[in-house]
Amino acid sequence: MTAELRARIRDGDTEAFGVLFDQHADAVHRHAVWSEGDPALAEDVVSLTFLEAWRIRRSLHPDGDSLRPWLLGIATNVLRNRRRAARRHREALRRLPVRDTVPDFADEVVARMHDVDRIAAAVAALRSLRRSDREVFLLCVWSQLDYASAAEALGVPVGTVRSRLSRARTRLRALAQQELAAPRTNPAEQPRTVPVEQSRMSSVEQGEPR
């Protein structure tokens, strides 16, 4: 199944490419949100990742399992050099339909806003990691790729993935210890107070899909 999909994509079958989008767009989107820390910036990354995937489709290996590592690897490159990717696909981005400005439901907007705050908080800790360590952490832990897949995505040896991940984890553990030892007292660093609407939304958030 995957082998056939790979072959069809390599051959420039747009229908197969549509299937690829259906299968992995959400994973790419999630990865982009986590990396950028901001959902507003993630949509373009999704488009750029798939545009890049189409451009380099002939470099896709004919055999292998899921195409997710390949796509997340491309997404990682796009995120590393967003401006370069945007320049390369300037014309295509120009044709991208504008974002709908009228939201479907006011409630959803509130949920999305809260989402932004929560993501920003979770991502803040990762900012202290080296970029290469952060990439491995995101791929292996949050996007749940195995070591071999993460190695494939990043184009580095498996041993490098292991060592970067272990370095990332050590660093994050050290940070968590520091936070426990010295609770923040600076009011500027206190978490933002939760607006009334958001507390109303809290029951919905619990059941939010990943």
Partner 1 sequence: MSEPTAPPVLPLRPARRQALRHHLLREAQRPARRSRRRLLVLAPAAVLAAAVTAGAIAQAWAPDSAPLVVTVAQGDRGGAALLLDQVAAAAEAGPAPSSGEGGYVYVKSRAAYAELGGGPARLQPMYTREIWIPRYERGDGLVRQPFSTWPFIGPVVSRRTLPDMTPNAEIVDLPSDPDQLLAKLYRERDRRGMGDSGDGAAFTAIGDILRESLMPPRTSAALYRAAAKIPGVEVVRGVTDAVGRPGIAVAHTDLRRRDEWIFDERTLEYLGERSYLVTATEVGPAGTVLGTMAVLQRAVVPQVGQRPRT
Residues within the interface to partner 1 (CB under 8 A):
12, 14, 17-18, 21-22, 25-26, 29-30, 33-34, 39, 43, 46-47, 50-51, 54-56, 58-59, 81, 83-84, 87-88, 90, 92, 95-97, 99-100, 104, 111-112, 115, 118-119, 121-123, 125-126, 131-132, 141-142, 169, 172-173, 176, 205, 208-210
CB of 104 to partner 1, least distance (A): 7
- Residues 164/166/170/176 CA torsion (nearest 10 deg): 90
The amino acid at residue 54 is: W
Q: Which is nearer to partner 1, 43 or 66 (CB)?
A: 43
φ, ψ for residue 60 (rounded to 5)? -65, 130
CB of 2 to partner 1, least distance (A): 20
Q: Which is nearer to partner 1, 187 or 206 (CB)?
A: 206
State the sign of the Cα–Cα–Cα–Cα dihedral 50, 52, 55, 60. Answer: negative
Q: Return all residues near 31 (Cβ < 8 A) that are at least 6 apart.
A: 72, 75, 76, 138, 139, 142, 143
CB of 169 to partner 1, least distance (A): 6
What's the distance, CA 5 to chain centroid?
23
CB of 81 to partner 1, least distance (A): 7
